[in-house]
Chain A
Amino acid sequence: MVKRQHWPIHLALGIISALMLVPFYWVLKTSLTGENIFVYPPAILPQDPNPFYFVDVWYAIPFLRYLINSVIVSVIVVVANVFFNAMAGYALTRDFPGKAATIMLFLSCMMIPFQVTIIPAYLITAKLGLLNSYFGMALPLMSTIVCIFVFKAAFEAIPKSLVEAARIDGVPDWMIVFRIIMPLTKPAIATNIILAFIWSWNSFLWPLVVVRDVDMQTLPLGLSRFLSVVEDTTGALYAFCVMVLVPGLVIFLLAQKEFITGLTSGATKG
């Protein structure tokens, strides 16, 4: 048996990874130096790095307020996603009339960009009296079709006999989902949490439409406001970008194992 050399693959992967990390490195470097990003030739290593641009951002805008708003909206979105998507995913594993049509409808809805539905979404939110509120900001992201299919794939990987045994014992459907199936599909839950968190955390257009009060703004809106209010902000702007990016990156890095398992569960089945 010929032993394969792995180092060329590792070298190639290392180079590609480094190339993909260059923009992140550049953002971090600029946030620490505040250097002119258009200067040529650019400095590869940071010259005289300091953390003072982060201090400027902290005091220039109500960063903590924006952070708390983003966290509240993200928590609502994450909890709602796990709850609603699990129920929808379970329903799609059962047989019912029109199941194929429902799945087709879901899949086709995925192709409609959010910008197209933003006016009806706004009108519905206004009718519900949720404009300028945390629930209003979270509403369109409370259930996402991709995550429903993640749950569906994970639930289908569980032996049917387990669910049937519970049914014979008279366990209601909601308890089957939340007490029996979900504890066995932790990667799918982690995937839902990460995707919902990242989408909510980075959401800009919808909060821009529904938020009227400055105190209700989230971090992406704060970033936009920061750009319009403060001049000469290369360093501070990049520092703000880093402060907005870090929570999402940390969540992803902490749960990446479950995230990848959740995304691929069911993909290699059969």
Chain B
Amino acid sequence: MRWRWLRNRFVVTFGGAALLTAVWNVYIAYHDDGIIAGQVVGPDGAAVSGATVRLSEKTLLVSQTRGQTTTDADGRFEFKGHRMHRLYLEADKDGVGRYGPREYRLYFNGENLVLGKPLQLSAPGAS
């Protein structure tokens, strides 16, 4: 009887929305380091070291590069501290091939993104 007001539909709806918002914000606080990590592989699936990976953002009119890095010996790369929710990744290496630019959508600005699939370079001339 004392807690009956908790079952009121207004309390349930708005309280539930407030709770969800709080949970979502806690989740964001723990996952917004702006890390983008992945791997670059060649047309044959082998890791490509020394490939250039570019992170860019498309504004209203132009695409602006927000970061650039090179893959390590295992073909891995990482960006830190981005503040975007819609970004583009492209990679290339002379003589091996090119990937992208491909769009990635995130749920909030600076969301950590660990790419499940590697960026696979297409051989020059391949469509």
From B108, which residue of chain A is reached at the shortest CB distance? A55
* Prevailing SS type, chain A contact patch: helix
A230 and B13 within 8 A (CB): no
A50 and B109 within 8 A (CB): no
A230-B60, A231-B60 known; A55-B106 Cβ under 8 A = yes
How many residues from B make CB contacts under 8 Å with A?
Answer: 11
Which residues B63-105 have CB closer than 8 A to chain A? 85-86, 105
A55-B85, A59-B85, A231-B60 known; A254-B105 Cβ under 8 A = no
Query: Smallest Cβ distance from B22 to chain A, in angstroms?
Result: 15
A62 touches B (CB below 8 Å): no
B105 and A50 within 8 A (CB): yes
Chain A-chain B contacts (Cβ-Cβ < 8 Å), number:
22
B86 and A56 within 8 A (CB): yes
A59 and B109 within 8 A (CB): yes
**Size bin of chain A's contact surface:** 10 to 19
Q: How far is the CA of A51 from the CA of B111 in the complex (A)?
A: 15
Name B13's contact: one of A55, A56, A59, A254 (CB within 8 Å). Answer: A254
CB contacts (< 8 Å) of A231 on chain B: these are 60
B117 touches A (CB below 8 Å): no
Q: How far is the CA of A59 from the CA of B60 in the complex (A)?
A: 14
Query: Smallest Cβ distance from B35 to chain A, in angstroms?
Result: 18
From A250, which residue of chain B is reached at the shortest CB distance? B13
A254 and B9 within 8 A (CB): yes
Residues on B lying within 8 angstroms of A by beta carbon are 9-10, 13, 60, 85-86, 105-109
- A sample of 22 inter-chain contacts (CB < 8 A) reads A50-B105, A51-B107, A52-B85, A52-B86, A52-B105, A52-B107, A55-B85, A55-B86, A55-B105, A55-B106, A55-B107, A55-B108, A56-B85, A56-B86, A59-B85, A59-B109, A230-B60, A231-B60, A250-B13, A254-B9, A254-B10, A254-B13
